[in-house]
Each structure stands twice: as structure tokens, then as C-alpha cells.
Amino acid sequence: MQKHQTEEVIFGAFSLIFWTFTLIPLIKYVCILLSADDNGEGGTFALYSLLCRHAKLSLLPNQQAADEELSAYKYGPSTQAIASSPLKRFLEKHRRLRTALLVVVLFGACMVIGDGVLTPAISVLSAVSGLQVADSKLTKGELVLLACVILVGLFALQHCGTHKVAFMFAPIVIIWLVSILSIGLYNIIHWNPRIVRALSPHYIIKFFSQTGKDGWISLGGVLLSITGTEAMFADLGHFTALSIRLAFALAIYPCLVVQYMGQAAFLSKHPNSMSNSFYDSIPDRVFWPVCVIATLAAIVGSQAVITATFSIVKQCHALGCFPRVKVVHTSKHIYGQIYIPEINWILMVLTLAVTIGFQDTTFIGNAYGLACMTVMFITTFLMALVIIFVWQKSVILAACFLLFFWFIEGVYLSAALMKVPQGGWAPLVLSAIFMLIMYIWHYGTRKKYNFDLHNKVSLKWLLGLGPSLGIVRVPGIGLIYSELATGVPAIFSHFVTNLPAFHKVLVFVCVKSVPVPYVSPEERFLIGRVCPRPYRMYRCIVRYGYKDIQRDDGSFENKLIQSIAEFIQMEAVEPQFSSSESPSLDGRMAVMSINPVQSSLSLMVSEQEILSIDESIQSSRSLTLQSLRSAYDDENPQIRRRHVRFQLPPNPGMDPLVKEELMDLIQAKEAGVAYIMGHSYVKARRTSSFLKKLAIDIGYSFLRKNCRGPAVALNIPHISLIEVGMIYYV
């Protein structure tokens, strides 16, 4: 563009920025996409979640009809009155198309993770580059070193949580917006007021007529003016759509337009300042304050994208597409603020590698622009499907939306792809690596689940053993964890055939994700009976949304016992939930809500402060177990807060069988709770192809060994855990 530094070309470049900024962030995102929220949540996963609920597009294996009764599931227009469209039936019929849709969504997620690497690098490096304008003696190496120090500090503070530093964000952003607005107005009035004419799209035609191919290639730089727009939509869950619309339309949009207009006015008189137009256009008297606030604003912007990356990884894990990682809830009061240590340090290493490797904002900008435009391109496609399936508008309207915005974004994307050799390869490589990790994990998890599904224990065999299961039933509750939402897992047959005794009360627990952002605590537990009443065998399905956090508050056991007790008593009142009439099948499931104030069906709960270790282990007869538990309690003093006891309420009219079952449940709880999990080893069959063996035996095995164990992820106390080794040949 060095040979096209005329006033008309500069006016045309500003006109291009203005209309791009108006059409994509303002009209597409603020006016249209913010209306396509999922219970207040935004981003590609929110759009995918909406689609999965209004059309059968989900690939999550253990979904049930009961999930559709969740209050969050019914968010949006009802689909019952509308006949199924041919496009909807076509997508639901072909599994490969549904898989392709998930791959597209995950690719978009990988590009957002790439944003999490590139945004801090380009933001901080651009901000500190202003120092070189003020002091030409500073070398590029010294600027890169300063940027790396700031980046290390930024990532090192992530464990504190956003809420501890967020009180500074609003003043920084407000001062930043006022600064760029003031500088923009000054430059317009002082250098070239005629820049106002460039608001006419006529200058865009002049721009391309004079620059030709060079103008098209320069679009890769123009699109940097709208980067961060996708983060605004992804962060919808932290704000309301109305607040974002007001802030963008009344503050951000006018301030940025005036700033770009001011830069164009300055460049029309100083075309040689093209490479560093922002800092060169700042008046000398306010240079240093603006330089400082620019650096702080870059840190705020980077913080927002890093936090969004944590949320994306959490959502990928909920879809079964990312290895288990440690998720830390950083705020007791603000829901959804999380920190993932492993991802934080990986992002830091990658960001430093990009900063040191490129050392130039032009190369990083090429990479950043490609990543952002790819996410926007995918979002437009998903939004078109939402218009058809969720909003139930005509296919013609969706096609017009898709073609209009795809044409604009396609032109920018083609220009960005031309920059692949000059740094644009970075997000493609990062996305390919994360996609490979996600695909291998998803593939291995699905194969393992299908093995469990095809090797379930026959209920006829269990019923043939009788209520004692052919072994001694000892006091206590056994919680058997499995991914199966129906049936008895193969792990259970290992116990029954190899151990002489088992717990008197058995609960098959399935912790699963459902395609909604949050599941309310009242709807979390789904309780049912596995075998007839004398067997004392139940099923509990614990449901979480893709943005829910599984907190370790120590109350899971008590909530589970209360839920089962509620189910037992409700079953006596409403016999349709009983499985005694059809003992060969699983009983019907019922949602059990735990509220402080319940009907007379509830168990009476008494809480006692634990004063000594002896009281907390008085039910344990083994001295060895007592010493182990006391050592565990010493290491975990926060768990030793309350000892909860359950009692039957005085109810003379209670059914004797129900009373007996409730007493068994209470006594079993007093005897202790054990957690049983399978310690699985997944291997490919000998007849498998080379690629499958590579994916399962090397890739999936490596990821399982180096991610968090399922017991840790589910907050299961180590002292009460029993693991059973199993080999899965998939």
C-alpha cells in the first residue's frame, strides 16, 4: 500500500472500516446475534446447544427423554406446533452430517482458544510499541522483553480470579474510551475536517478502483478493526443483552468510529506515518498518559479473552471433547468465574512463544485476523440454522442472512488466507493441535461408552440371584459410578462374582452433561429403582449443564440420601413409578428436588458440630479404618464441619414396607458410604487398523494418563474410594 498513499485511498480505507464496523459488530452481532442467547449465554456453544434442543443433532450418548423436561431445556419458542421441516429431518437422519456440525463447532472453539493465545500477544506488544515512538533508542528485543514480563504477570495473576481485579476494569475502559474519543475529535478538527465525507460508501468503490489487488490484500489489516467482536458475544453470560447493546451503541461504537476517523484525517496529511498511525497521531502533551492507559486497556482485553478460553475448554469437556482438567471456582458470589491451571500455563507458554517467535505485530496481526474471521464465518452459519430451527423463520430469510454476511466475511477471509505464509499459519497449527486432542478424546470416550453399553449386566441374571445377590449384604451404601444412564454396568458383575460381601443399599450413579448451560439444583437429581423393592438397588442420574461447576461442598451424599428417601415415599403415593409390575425393566425415573422446607414426606435432618475425631468415626468398628479416617480428617479440616443425621418423621399412617425401607436407608448411611469406580484400561482390538491403534493405544492412552482422574474430577473422597481394574478392548 506504500504506492497508494493518496487522500482518496485513505478516505476509502476509513470508509471500508466504518461500513465493516457497522455491518458486522453493530448489525450482525448487536442487533441479531445477541437475540439468539441460550438462557442468557452466548458463543458458538450456546448456538449449538439451542440447535441440539430444537432438532435431534446432539451426539451426547446418554441423553434421555426426561432431560427435555428441564426448565432450561424449554428456553425459546416451542417446536411442538410446528411441523418438522425437510431440512431438519434430513440433518437428523444422517449421522455424518451431525458429526460434521459438531466438528465445525469444535473448530470454531479451537479458533477461540487460538484467540486466547494471540490476543494477549498482539494487545500487549502493540501497547508497549508506543514506547519506541517516544524513545527511538529502544530496540525491538527490549520491547519484546518488556511485553513478555507483562504477559507472565498477567497469566500469573489468573489464579486470583477476575473479581479481585475487576473493580479496576470499568475505570480503565471508561478513561480509554474518553481518551480515544478526544484524540479522534482533535485530529478531525485540527488536520482534515473533510474526512466526514468518507462516511459515504462511494469512497469504497474509489478505493478498490485505485488499489486493485493491493486493496484486496490489505483487507487482512482492515478486519483487525472488528476483532474482539466474537468475544463480546461469547461473554454474554456475564452481562445482559440489553447492557451490551446500550454500551456498544452509545459508547464503544461512536468512540471507535471517531478515533478511526481521526487517524484517517491525520494520515491524509502525514502519509509516511502509516505504520504507526495511532501513536503518531497522539498530541505530545498527552502521549505518556495515553500510552499507559493503552497498556492497561490491552491487559483488560486480554483478561476477557483468557477467561473466555477457560469457559470454552470447560464447555468442550462437558461435550465429552476435552480431557478432564482441574476447574477452580474463583468466586463464591459470582457464578461462572473459573480458572483452569493447566490451560492457563499452556496459554502462557504458547503466548510467549508467539511473542518471541514473531516479534512483530504485523505477523501476529495476520494470525489474529484469520482466527477471528474464521470464528465469525462459523457463527454466521450456525445463526442461519438457528433462524430456521429455533426462531422457526423461513429458509429464504435464513439464506438471505447467510449469503449477505458470508459474502462480506468471505471476502475478508480470502484476504486473511493470503497472509498464511506471513504468520497466518499460527492459528491453523494451534487449531489443528487442539482439534486432534479433542477428536482423539471424543473418539476414545465414545468407544469406551459403547463397550459399556454392549456389555451391560442382564437384569434377568440379577433377579435370578435373589435380593441377596447370592452374597452377604453388609451395612452401608455403595455408590457405583458409571457413564450408563440405563442398565447395570459390567463393573458390577466383577464385584458380585469376586467378592463375598457387598453393601446393603446400592446406588448406580451416572454424572452426565445435558445440552443446557445450567441445571437448577431442584432438577439436578433424577431417581429411579433398578430392581424390585427387596433388592434395595436404586439409580441416580446427576445432571449438569455445559457451564455448571461441580462444587466440592461435601453435601452430595446427604442430598442423594434425601432424594432417594423422597422417591421411596413418593413411589408409595404414586405407584406408576414402581418397577414391581415390570421387574425385568428399569423403573421409571422421577426428578427429586431438595428444598429446606418440604412436605411431611421428608426425612428429619439434624446437624451436629463435630467436636472430636472419635465422634466422626464412631460407626467404624475397624481400628485401622479409624486411624486412616482420622489422618484423612486431619489433612482435610474443612470437611469436618457438620455431621448430618437422618431420622424418620413421626407418621403413624406410613406403610410398614416404606418405613422398613427408609430405616434400612438411614442405617446404611450411618454405617458409611463407599464409592466404587472402574479403573479402566482402553486398548484397541488386535484386528483394528493401524490408525485406530495409534489413536487408542497411544493418543487416548497418553491423554488419560496425563489428565485428572475421574475420582478427582467428581470430588470423590479418596479414603472412601474402591477402584476395580477393567480392560476395554474396543
> What pLDDT is attached to residue 584?
40
**pLDDT of 581 higher than 70:** no
Residue (of 152, 161, 113) closest to 348 by Cα position: 152
- pLDDT value of residue 605: 61
d(CA 192, CA 265): 5
pLDDT, one tens digit per residue, over 287-303 is 999 999 999 999 888 88
**C-alpha cell read off for 345:** 500455563
pLDDT over threshold 90, residue 428: yes
pLDDT tens-digit series, residues 583-597? 444 456 788 766 544
> What confidence tens digit (pLDDT) does each residue in 62-78 have?
677 778 888 888 766 65
Q: What are phi and psi of 475, to 5 degrees?
A: -60, 145
Q: Give the strand pairing for 501-513 and 472-481.
A: parallel
Q: Which of 109, 172, 40, 548 is nearest to 308 (CA)?
A: 109
Whether 641 has a pLDDT exceeding 50, the answer reads: no
pLDDT reported for residue 337: 75
> How far is Cα 561 from Cα 656, in angstroms, rounded to an integer?
19
The beta strand positions in 568-614, using DSSP E, are 590-592, 604-609
Question: pLDDT at residue 255 above 90?
Answer: yes
Name beta bridge partners: 647. 604
CA dihedral 590, 595, 597, 603 (to 10 degrees): 60
Q: Using one digit for the tens of pLDDT, what is the confidence trace for 464-518?
A: 888 887 788 888 999 999 888 888 888 888 777 777 788 899 999 999 888 888 8
- Is the CB of residue 403 less than 8 Å from the CB of residue 389? no
Residue range 75-91: mean pLDDT, rounded = 66
Distance of alpha carbon 164 from alpha carbon 651, whole angstroms:
51
Contact (CB, 8 A) for 177 and 322: no
Reported as a pLDDT band with limits 50, 70 and 90, residue 649 is confident
| pLDDT confidence bin for 553, thresholds 50/70/90 | low
Task: Please report the sign of the dihedral spanned by the C-alpha atoms of residue 466, residue 472, residue 478, residue 481.
Answer: negative
pLDDT of residue 603: 64
Q: Please tell me whether residue 231 adopts helix, strand or coil conformation.
A: helix
Which helix (H) or strand (E) covers residue 674, if one does?
A: strand 673-683
Q: What is the pLDDT of residue 148?
A: 95
pLDDT at 683: 93
Residues 6+ apart with CB under 8 A from 56: 92
Q: Which three cell numbers stand for residue 302?
A: 486480554
pTM, full prediction? 0.85
CA angle, 245 as apex, 240 and 247 as ends, to 5°? Answer: 95
Structure confidence at residue 621 (pLDDT): 47
**317 — pLDDT class (breaks 50, 70, 90):** confident
Average pLDDT (38-49) is 85
**C-alpha–C-alpha distance, residues 156 and 150, integer Å:** 10
Question: In the predicted model, is pLDDT for residue 620 greater than 70?
Answer: no
Helices (H), 162-201: 169-191
